[in-house]
Structure 1
Amino acid sequence: MKKHLLFILFFLGFLNDLQAQKLDLIPKPVKIEQKAGVFLIPPSVQIIVDKKAKKSASFISEKFLKNTGVSPSLIIGNKNKKNAITLLVDEKMSVPADGYTLNVSKTGMLIKGKSINGLLNGFQTLLQIFSAKEVKKGTIPFVEIEDYPRFEWRGMMLDVSRQFFDKETVKNYIDWLAAHKMNIFHWHLTDDNGWRIEIKSMPDLALKGGFRGPGEVLLPSYGSGNKRYGGFYTQEEIKEVVEYALQRGVSIMPEIEIPGHSRAVTASYPEIGCVTTQETKSVQGEVKNVWCVGREENYEILDSIIKEFSQMFPFEYIHVAGDEVNRANWEQCPKCKAVMEKEGYTDTFQLQNYFFRRIEKIVEKYGKKSAGWNEILKGGELSPKTEIFAWQGISYGIESVKKGHTTIMIPGQYTYFDMAQSENERGHRWAAITDTKRVYSFEPIPEKDLSLKEQKLIKGVQGALWSEYLDLPARFMEYQSYPRITALSEIAWSKKSDKNWEDFYSRLTNSHLSRLDNMGIAFRDFPPTALYKNGSITVTLPYEGAIVRYDGDGKEPSNNSPIYSVPIQTKEYEKYMFRTFFNDNVSSPAVKVDKLPVAVWNTSKVEVINFSQNISENIDKNGIWYLGFNPTSDGSTSGFIKEVSLFENDKLIKSYTAENTLKSKSRLRFVVDNYKEKNKYRLDFIFENKEAKESSAKVNFDCSPYQEPEVKVTSSMAENPKFPISRLEDYNIESYLRTDVPCANGDWILYTFKNPVTSSKIDVSTGIPHHPRFIISGGHVEYSYNGIDFIKGDAFDYGNASIYPSNAVKAVKIVITETNNEPIMAAQDLRINP
């Protein structure tokens, strides 16, 4: 009996050992088998590195020391020694390219790679094992791993034009990609707002086009301010970074942005652009940013530029862009029109194709292949060797494949990491709100639309980080990159059948966030959820052990704010904000308190649903309340809402009879000005799903934290008819004014209230909501108690200013003292605090 008991205890202990050795590897390996026992790393451990990987030996030694605290003895050779850590290349292995095996036993550890990159991938897995939360330092659990990537191309793009990142920052970024088995760094080196690479045959491209500010050929933009801003990489620095990346198993694909997005080029060498009598603007509002296709000398210039690119970058592809070309320039240019007439072209897409066919030949002349954004497919056929990057959507990837091109799936809706990660965070929104979970949901191969043969043309997947809004806050580039790139790495590497968000999230939060921290990445932590019900706020931590702090005065929590531990009793839930803090440098966005939805539905059939909800518990004060209909996912937007009515004690407060689509995310306004605790409130509305398509939504009813007094807005500036001044009168935080021209000294915007407004603080914001573009860079706010005499308030700081009036305010005025050096100016609704 004692023997049986001892065996059971031993077996339970064995299971606990296995459980304690959870490795939390990202990306998830193809095959992994863990066994009982650990290999103790000797203080004088030897690392044997295959002579084929000799250039990576120093990197291997340095990373080993950093992750274990043990300084290894490094040997270059091809023999496996007992009690050593051996890394060998075996090209005859029966695993795909970049694959490896990793075996740890009592006699030591052996990593075998199909190639040098395979060996390095295995080494990155070893580093992750060292840093797993439940692995004891100085040990390696006995384990057998066979692993290889799903996709050949596992890429990430960084834009260094809008914001310039120095050489060391780029090296760090490459290190982080290598740690996640990403093998392509796409370096976006040129664009409208800066040329970042030395070209010896055209020196002013970098010397002039690499800087913007007063007295420079490029105006300030994207937060650079009225000072000289910019920089570029010398050719020696480029070669240094390329070699650094190769030592880590990462290839660098350079991008030269042509023929559009080239304001830095035409500002440095004006003759390169078209000569036109009428200026036209690009999508981003830039003028004169297109190469002249009809100027024959330009092809000689491009030949010299591409030649120098090919000498600096050994990678087989040069990305020649081709996106968002302002072709209207060519329609005005005599030289471009002459080419069209000579070639018999009927539209400028054909002219664009003419340009890229010539570029392809130049690229191939120097032993390289061309790559470009999906727009280059328009206007005619391209070389079958040209690789297409499908950024505008999955359908563009399908089109590319069906035309026979190898294709990289990089749809903005899933893999553009300049997108905001939640509704209230900084970032673009044109593609989607893209958090880590959404990235992880992306499937690169649309199997239903492609044959098996066509699917093989999808070479891989890539992310992109455009840098328009990475100037602030500090290290925002890291915040936007991680942990979203961890999700991208698993899409690119791991088996489709192994994808599971809950499993991935567990590995990420249990060990991998700490790994990111150890790498020095200021990543975005996951926010908590805070729910208000019956006078109490309850917070759910984003993961076990997370530290959540809160503020009860309407401010974002700081490192010194109190830690949440028990539900908070309050009726002023709107004043509370919560935030996860990983450490002093890493936190989540601050989140407000949610309330339970007042209604929900989930259907995929044709039906009409009549809702009549008692929402008395939801309404707890006088104020302006907004009813929001919010689809629970992108694919659940079918259906219509109509006949929406709010009742107080069976008396109608307000109704909306118009039919609105769920997809439009309707936001309806109600005023409650007779609230009493005993009042009964009822919400009635009709939802109709006219087609058998998925519809799923939550209906929220929330009180606005701001006042919304009747206001009239006037301005000295001409409005854009699509974004009129009247938008500053609707108190919709997503609508805004756009002018048709830049602002200038002496311009103004005047907000005049019908009745004076009592407020503790009024916030005045310029620029597009959530996007600090088209802001006022020079000016201040003024306010008046009588509408005639004005008092000077705050100067604008990064497009924002506030006033703190002591009496009721009749008017608020934006006073502009200098140009914003942008194509237009934008302004938003006032935020009027009680």
Structure 2
Amino acid sequence: MKKSILLIAIFLSSLSTIQAQKLDIIPKPVKVEQKEGAFIIPSTVQIIVDKKIQKSSDYIKASLLKNAGINSTVTAGDTHKKNTISFLVDEKMSLPNEGYKLSVTKKGVLVKGKSVSGVLNGFQTLVQICSAKDVKKGTIPFVKIEDYPRFEWRGMMLDVSRQFFDKQTVENYIDWLAAHKMNVFHWHLTDDNGWRAEIKSMPDLTKKGAWRGPGEVLLPSYGSGNKRYGGFYTQEEIKEVVAYAQDRGISIMPEIEIPGHSRAVTAAYPEIGCVTTQETKSVQGEVKNVWCVGREENYQILDSIIREFSEMFPFEYIHVAGDEVNRANWEHCPKCKALMEKEGYTDTFQLQNYFFKRVEKIVEKYHRKTAGWNEILKGGEVNPNTLIFAWQGINYGIESAKKGHSTIMIPGQYLYFDMAQSENERGHRWAAITDTKRAYSFEPIPTDDLTSDEQKLIKGVQGALWSEYLDRPTRFVEYQSYPRISALSEIGWSKKEDKNWDDFYGRLTHSHLQRLANLGIAFRDFPPTAIYKSGTITVTPPYEGAIVRYDTQGNEPTKESALYTKPIETRDYENYMFRTFFNEDVASPAVKVEKLPVATWSTSKIEVLNVSENISEHIDKNGIWYLTFNPKDEATSNGVIRAVSLFENDTLIQTFSDEKTLKSKLRLRFVIENYNERNTYRLDFTVENKEAKESSANVNFNCSPYLEPEVKVTSSMAENPKFPISKLEDYNIETYLRTDVPCANGDWILYTFTNPVTSSKIDVLTGIPHHPRFIVNDGYVEYSYNGIDFEKGDIFDYGNASIYPKKPVKAVRIMITGTNNEPLMAGQDLRINP
């Protein structure tokens, strides 16, 4: 009996040892078997590399040294030997093409791949094992792994047109993709704001079209300012990058943006565009950015461009775009109208289809296949071999597969990493607020909408990083990419049934964030949660061991700020900001203190809920308070809200009787003027769930940190009726002014208060809220104490300026001293501090 107990104890002990030594592999392998013990790496270990992957030898050796501390000598061979680390190709393995087997025993390490890319995938897993937090340096745990990808296409796109990234940055980006077993780098080389690939038959594409600024054919844009900005890659540099990627198991697919998004082309060679008297704008506000479909010479030009691309890029696909084409140009172009009449076309989508059929033939001429965005399916059939990238939404991927096309899922709502990661961070918002968890939740195959044969046409998944707002802060391209690409890698590689957010987050935060840091990536760390209740702020770090710092003056914490160690007692919680710090280069966004919800509900039934909550403990001062209804997620935003009333000592303060949907992001304004701590406050409202769908939300009630005095706004600039000047009077940070024209020297916007306002600081913001499009580049703000005489304040810095008045202010005025080189200008509400 004692012997049995002893054996059980030994077994449990060894089991805990195995479990404690987490490998934290991302993406998660198909099958992992861990055993007790570890291979002790010799001080200078011999690495055996199959002759088929000899081109990758230097990369393998350098990466093992940098990321795992393994010093090695490399020899070519096809046989595994004792005490070596071997990387061999075995084409007879019964695994998919990119699959591999990794075995670590006391004899050494053997990585066998079905192909060269399979071996490289196994190599990346080995590097991750050696760099796992629980693995002792100089050892590799005994393990057997059998692994292969779920999808054959696992891609990531980087836009280098709006912002230009040099060759070294691109190669770094490729290294990071390879470390995550991604296999396609989609290089977006041309767009309205810069042509980045040398074309020897058309030198002005880079001599002129790669540059913007004063005196250039392209105007400044996306933060490039009043200076010459741009760059391009020579054909020799491109070939070097292609070879660099191949050594790491990455194929590069180039993209040529046609027929739209081509302002860089038409600025360098105006004859390529349509000749019209009607100047129409694209969705981004660009003019003259479309190839003329009716100009026969353009197809000869495209032939030469595609020929040179095919010589630089050996990959089987060339992406020819086709998205967001401003077809209105063709409606006014004599050559395009003549072609429509000749072909008997009734709409311009047919003209677009004509263009792409001709382009497909050119691409085929150079032994390549065509890829394009989902819009190219409009107007008629395209070649069955054309690969479709479904970016506008999942339904477009479904449409593509049903039409028989191989399809890559790249929906902006989940996998566009130019999207902001939270409400208060820089980035686009048109598709969604997309943090790492949301990205990870994406499932590429809509099984309920496709037959089993149609599902097979979903060839893979891809992310995209458009670069409009990557100009600042420094290394923002890395912040927007990771760890969201870590999540993307698991979507593309791991089995659907193995995907689990909590498990992934554990592997990510336990070991993988440190791996990202070791790779030199300035990633976005996860923010803490700070909750205020009954005079105390309590902070929860995002994961074990996370370092959280805070500021007490409403500023973004720095690495010199106070370290959070215990709950903070204060009544001035609004002034506190908290932030996670990983290292010198890596931090989370700063977050404000949250208050607990004043009410909540959750139902999946058709029913009416009458909610009445005593919210006295949540109210602690006079001021302007905002009530918001926040669904738990998109799936729970069902139902309507009405009859929202706030009572003070059972006396009605204000009521809102209109019915609003939960989806509408309802935000209601209340004014509390007679607060004292003996008052009682009650919130009443009605929720009606009209369908048997989940309705679930938190109700939050927060005091505004700003003053909201009555104001009248006027301007010299014509307004856009959909975004009128009156939007600057409502103190809603989500609404804003758009003019109908660019701003120019001498333009102004005047804010006049009904009564003078006492304020310590007034912030004047231009551009769209949360991301700097249509900002004031050149100008200053001024202010008046009497409404007549003005004093000059700050000049605008990247669209923003501030004033610090010494007396009550009657008026604030934006004075513009130069164009912003954009189609229009946008302005926001003043932020008036007490």
What is the TM-score of this pair, normalised by structure 1?
A: 0.99
How big is each residue's C-alpha offset from its partner over 1:777-802, in whole Å with a ceiling of 9 and x where there is no partner? 00000000000000000000000000
Matched residue, 2:130? 130
Matched residue, 1:218? 218
Which residue identity is paired with 2:442? F
For 1:448, what is the secondary structure of its paired residue? coil
* Map 1:90-105 → 2, pairs under 5 A: 90-105=90-105
For 1:447, what is the secondary structure of its paired residue? coil
Quote how far apart the aligned CAs of 1:601 are. 1.2
Matched residue, 1:89? 89
Quote how far apart the aligned CAs of 1:636 are. 1.3
Which residue identity is paired with 2:608? V
Q: Measure the CA separation in 2 of the matches of 1:356 and 1:535.
A: 65
For 1:733, what is the secondary structure of its paired residue? coil
Q: Measure the CA separation in 2 of the matches of 1:635 and 1:591.
A: 25
Matched residue, 2:107? 107
Matched residue, 2:473? 473
Whether the 8 Å contact between 1:222 and 1:471 is mirrored in structure 2 is yes
Quote how far apart the aligned CAs of 1:4 are. 6.1
How big is each residue's C-alpha offset from its partner over 1:554-574, in whole Å with a ceiling of 9 and x where there is no partner? 111110111111111111111
Matched residue, 1:747? 747
* Map 1:677-692 → 2, pairs under 5 A: 677-692=677-692
Q: Measure the CA separation in 2 of the matches of 1:46 and 1:718.
A: 73
Quote how far apart the aligned CAs of 1:7 are. 4.2
Q: Measure the CA separation in 2 of the matches of 1:418 and 1:682.
A: 42
Matched residue, 1:383? 383
Quote how far apart the aligned CAs of 1:8 are. 5.3
Which residue identity is paired with 1:387? L
Long gaps (5+) in structure 2: none
Whether the 8 Å contact between 1:340 and 1:351 is mirrored in structure 2 is yes
For 1:265, what is the secondary structure of its paired residue? helix
Whether the 8 Å contact between 1:427 and 1:771 is mirrored in structure 2 is yes
Matched residue, 1:204? 204
* Map 1:521-560 → 2, pairs under 5 A: 521-560=521-560
Q: Measure the CA separation in 1 of the matches of 2:297 and 2:771.
A: 39
Q: Measure the CA separation in 2 of the matches of 1:65 and 1:712.
A: 65
Q: Measure the CA separation in 2 of the matches of 1:325 and 1:146.
A: 46
Quote how far apart the aligned CAs of 1:80 are. 1.1
How big is each residue's C-alpha offset from its partner over 1:532-578, in whole Å with a ceiling of 9 and x where there is no partner? 11111111110000000011111111101111111111111111111
Q: Measure the CA separation in 2 of the matches of 1:629 and 1:665.
A: 6
Quote how far apart the aligned CAs of 1:17 are. 2.2
Quote how far apart the aligned CAs of 1:43 are. 1.1
Quote how far apart the aligned CAs of 1:302 are. 0.2
Q: Measure the CA separation in 2 of the matches of 1:510 and 1:549.
A: 20
Quote how far apart the aligned CAs of 1:97 are. 1.3
Matched residue, 1:156? 156
Quote how far apart the aligned CAs of 1:208 are. 0.5
Whether the 8 Å contact between 1:755 and 1:810 is mirrored in structure 2 is yes
Matched residue, 2:177? 177
Q: Measure the CA separation in 1 of the matches of 2:4 and 2:609.
A: 63
Which residue identity is paired with 1:432? A
Matched residue, 1:400? 400
Matched residue, 1:275? 275
For 2:702, what is the secondary structure of its paired residue? strand
Which residue identity is paired with 1:667? R
Which residue identity is paired with 2:752? T
Percent identity between the two aligned chains: 78
Matched residue, 2:330? 330
Which residue identity is paired with 1:796? F
Quote how far apart the aligned CAs of 1:731 are. 0.3
Which residue identity is paired with 1:793? G
Q: Measure the CA separation in 2 of the matches of 1:582 and 1:10.
A: 38
- Where does structure 1 differ by over 4 angstroms across 4 or more consecutive aligned residues? 1-9
For 1:741, what is the secondary structure of its paired residue? coil
The answer to whether 1:602 aligns with 2:641 is no
Matched residue, 2:586? 586
Matched residue, 2:650? 650
Quote how far apart the aligned CAs of 1:6 are. 5.6
The answer to whether 1:427 aligns with 2:427 is yes
Q: Measure the CA separation in 1 of the matches of 2:51 and 2:97.
A: 19
Matched residue, 1:359? 359
Whether the 8 Å contact between 1:478 and 1:521 is mirrored in structure 2 is yes
Matched residue, 1:342? 342
For 1:813, what is the secondary structure of its paired residue? strand
For 2:563, what is the secondary structure of its paired residue? coil
How big is each residue's C-alpha offset from its partner over 1:787-824, in whole Å with a ceiling of 9 and x where there is no partner? 00000000000000000001000000000000111110
Matched residue, 2:439? 439
Quote how far apart the aligned CAs of 1:493 are. 0.1
Matched residue, 1:612? 612
Which residue identity is paired with 2:22? K
Q: Measure the CA separation in 2 of the matches of 1:186 and 1:602.
A: 43
Which residue identity is paired with 2:249? G
Q: Measure the CA separation in 1 of the matches of 2:586 and 2:2.
A: 52
Which residue identity is paired with 1:11? F
The answer to whether 1:227 aligns with 2:236 is no
* Map 1:36-75 → 2, pairs under 5 A: 36-75=36-75
Q: Measure the CA separation in 1 of the matches of 2:411 and 2:9.
A: 53
Matched residue, 1:146? 146
* Map 1:114-125 → 2, pairs under 5 A: 114-125=114-125
Quote how far apart the aligned CAs of 1:5 are. 6.9
Q: Measure the CA separation in 2 of the matches of 1:8 and 1:609.
A: 56
Matched residue, 2:246? 246
Q: Measure the CA separation in 2 of the matches of 1:555 and 1:821.
A: 32
Q: Measure the CA separation in 2 of the matches of 1:68 and 1:153.
A: 28
Q: Measure the CA separation in 2 of the matches of 1:629 and 1:97.
A: 50
Whether the 8 Å contact between 2:794 and 2:803 is mirrored in structure 1 is yes
Output the aligned Cα RMSD: 0.9
Q: Measure the CA separation in 2 of the matches of 1:259 and 1:828.
A: 35
Quote how far apart the aligned CAs of 1:77 are. 1.2
Counting matched residue pairs gives 834
For 1:647, what is the secondary structure of its paired residue? strand
Which residue identity is paired with 1:188? H
Quote how far apart the aligned CAs of 1:756 are. 0.3
Whether the 8 Å contact between 2:67 and 2:519 is mirrored in structure 1 is no
Which residue identity is paired with 1:775? I
Matched residue, 2:165? 165
Q: Measure the CA separation in 2 of the matches of 1:618 and 1:784.
A: 38
How big is each residue's C-alpha offset from its partner over 1:2-34, in whole Å with a ceiling of 9 and x where there is no partner? 866764554344233213321000000000000
Q: Measure the CA separation in 1 of the matches of 2:811 and 2:282.
A: 37
Matched residue, 1:317? 317
Q: Measure the CA separation in 1 of the matches of 2:551 and 2:456.
A: 52
* Map 1:765-804 → 2, pairs under 5 A: 765-804=765-804
Matched residue, 1:494? 494
Q: Measure the CA separation in 1 of the matches of 2:562 and 2:739.
A: 44
Long gaps (5+) in structure 1: none
Quote how far apart the aligned CAs of 1:246 are. 0.3
Q: Measure the CA separation in 1 of the matches of 2:384 and 2:630.
A: 44
Which residue identity is paired with 2:589? P
Which residue identity is paired with 1:630? N
Q: Measure the CA separation in 2 of the matches of 1:309 and 1:238.
A: 10
Matched residue, 2:462? 462
Whether the 8 Å contact between 1:20 and 1:135 is mirrored in structure 2 is no
For 1:449, what is the secondary structure of its paired residue? coil
Which residue identity is paired with 1:679? N
Matched residue, 1:255? 255
Quote how far apart the aligned CAs of 1:584 are. 1.3
Quote how far apart the aligned CAs of 1:64 are. 1.3
Q: Measure the CA separation in 2 of the matches of 1:226 and 1:10.
A: 72
Q: Measure the CA separation in 2 of the matches of 1:735 and 1:657.
A: 23
Whether the 8 Å contact between 1:626 and 1:702 is mirrored in structure 2 is yes
Which residue identity is paired with 2:94? S
Quote how far apart the aligned CAs of 1:276 are. 0.2
Quote how far apart the aligned CAs of 1:69 are. 2.6
Matched residue, 2:702? 702
Query: Which deviates more, 56-65 or 26-35?
Result: 56-65
Which residue identity is paired with 1:822? E
How big is each residue's C-alpha offset from its partner over 1:448-472, in whole Å with a ceiling of 9 and x where there is no partner? 0000000000000000000000000
